Structure 1
């Protein structure tokens, strides 16, 4: 268990480092500006309202930030997969002929995990009635940190539960397939 947690921590730290390097090295500001240029103020406001659940006074800046994070993630995930695949090749876990397949599958798997976790975080944030628990419209820094921390913890627990159920279902189905082939 501790080894699994350490491996997860190392992968998260590596992903943060790769994202920071991509943000510093790769010039994608022009791409972000061209994408946000496709939106007028009303459509930008609708887009940010859909994400936040309330009107955003700075829709243009938020829209630029959202697309910047999205593009950074779209660049960082294949980069991180390449680093981990190279590590697997060096430690002889993967044959050199299987490198492209290993890289592609790990990239797609990471994209699915990030999309699922982000969607779960967003859905729980939109569905949970935080306004009834915290009726005040202005929140202190401590209150915001507590809300985000609770939301992140709740998302991690739900994500773990979902992946555990998927793994359990898959392990129950796999022996049945093997026994029918014999």
Structure 2
């Protein structure tokens, strides 16, 4: 199963990705973790990314895609993977689709966790308080949610148009949301 998890900050993507990794027996690939690992390993792409970040710039889509291609070449991804936090915009979605088609590992599904904005603000504020993070104010969270919505709405449509998208209610206990995701990933029986 090759799966993309979509959802705004605080929707529970990371938490559910860990559970799905165990259930599906495929690796959970977070582009943030991948980027940190490549930089720490001192790979060519990691050195390039490090230089970009040292200048205070964002790592380009091209560098991220190169890191993903390298990661997808490992044996543990032959049975699939879970992507969390990528793609974040339409250009990334298109580039990812092209890469996966080229390497013969097309995307199977995308799941969007749907959570009301005000609940996301509450969740992130609670998490920020628990972790002692003063930067996650309700105002900054609302701004991040707007940016997510503006950039990611086309990604949601990208997967919807390809018949790969399932929208799952992200409100409820961890087990309830997990069960909904697993149900959404089940093939629909053929009629007739």
Richer in strand (by share): 2
What TM bracket, shorter-length normalisation? 0.3 to 0.5
Q: Highest relative contact order (Cα 8 Å, sep 6+), 1 or 2? A: 2
TM-score normalised by the chain length of structure 2: 0.33
Richer in helix (by share): 1
TM-score normalised by the chain length of structure 1: 0.34
